[in-house]
Amino acid sequence: MSRSLREVVFVDGVRTPFGKAGPKGIYAETRADDLVVRVIRELLRRNPSLPADRVDEVAIAATTQIGDQGLTIGRTAALLAGLPTSVPGYAIDRMCAGAMTAVTTTASGIAFGAYDVAIAGGVEHMGRHPMGEGADPNPRFFSEKLVDGSALVMGSTAENLHDRFPHLTKERADAFALASQQRYAKAVANGQIGPELVPVATRSAEQGWGLATADEPPRPGTTLEGLATLKTPFRPHGHVTAGNAAGLNDGATGCILAAEDVARELGLTAGMRLVGYGFVGVEPEVMGVGPVPSTERALARTGLTIDDIGLFELNEAFAVQVLAFLDHFGIADDDPRVNPWGGAIAVGHPLASSGVRLMTQLSRQFAERPDVRYGLTAMCVGLGMGATVIWENPNWEGAAQ
Query: Is 113 a domain residue?
Result: no
- In this prediction, residue 142 has a pLDDT band, given cuts at 50, 70 and 90, of confident
Q: Name the H helices within 267-377.
A: 291-302, 319-328, 344-347, 354-368
Query: Is 52 a domain residue?
Result: no
Known catalytic residues are 96, 349, 380
Query: Is 77 a domain residue?
Result: no
Would you state the pLDDT for residue 344?
98
Inter-axis angle of helices 32-46 and 73-80, nearest 10: 60
* Cβ contact 159:234 at 8 Å: yes
Q: What percent of the chain has pLDDT over 70?
A: 99
Number of domains the chain contains? 1
How many CB atoms neighbour CB 197 within 10 A? 17
Query: Is 140 a domain residue?
Result: no
Q: Rounded CA gap, 330 and 59, in Å?
A: 36
For 236, which DSSP code? Answer: T
* pLDDT tens readout for residues 232-273: 999 999 999 999 999 999 999 999 999 999 999 999 999 999
- In terms of residue numbers, what domain contains 180? 147-193+275-391
* pTM given for the model: 0.96
- Which residues pair with residue 313 across a beta bridge? 377
* pLDDT tens readout for residues 29-57: 999 999 999 999 999 999 999 999 999 99
* pLDDT tens readout for residues 74-132: 999 999 999 999 999 999 999 999 999 999 999 999 999 999 999 999 999 999 999 88
Query: Is 64 a domain residue?
Result: no
Cα diameter, the chain: 65
* pLDDT tens readout for residues 341-364: 999 999 999 999 999 999 999 999
* pLDDT tens readout for residues 182-201: 999 999 999 999 999 999 99
Query: Is 368 a domain residue?
Result: yes
Query: Is 360 a domain residue?
Result: yes
Query: Is 339 a domain residue?
Result: yes
CATH at 297: 3.40.47.10
Residues near 358 by beta carbon (within 8 Å), at least 6 away in sequence:
100, 313, 314, 315, 377, 378, 379
Residues near 354 by beta carbon (within 8 Å), at least 6 away in sequence:
96, 99, 122, 253, 315, 344, 379
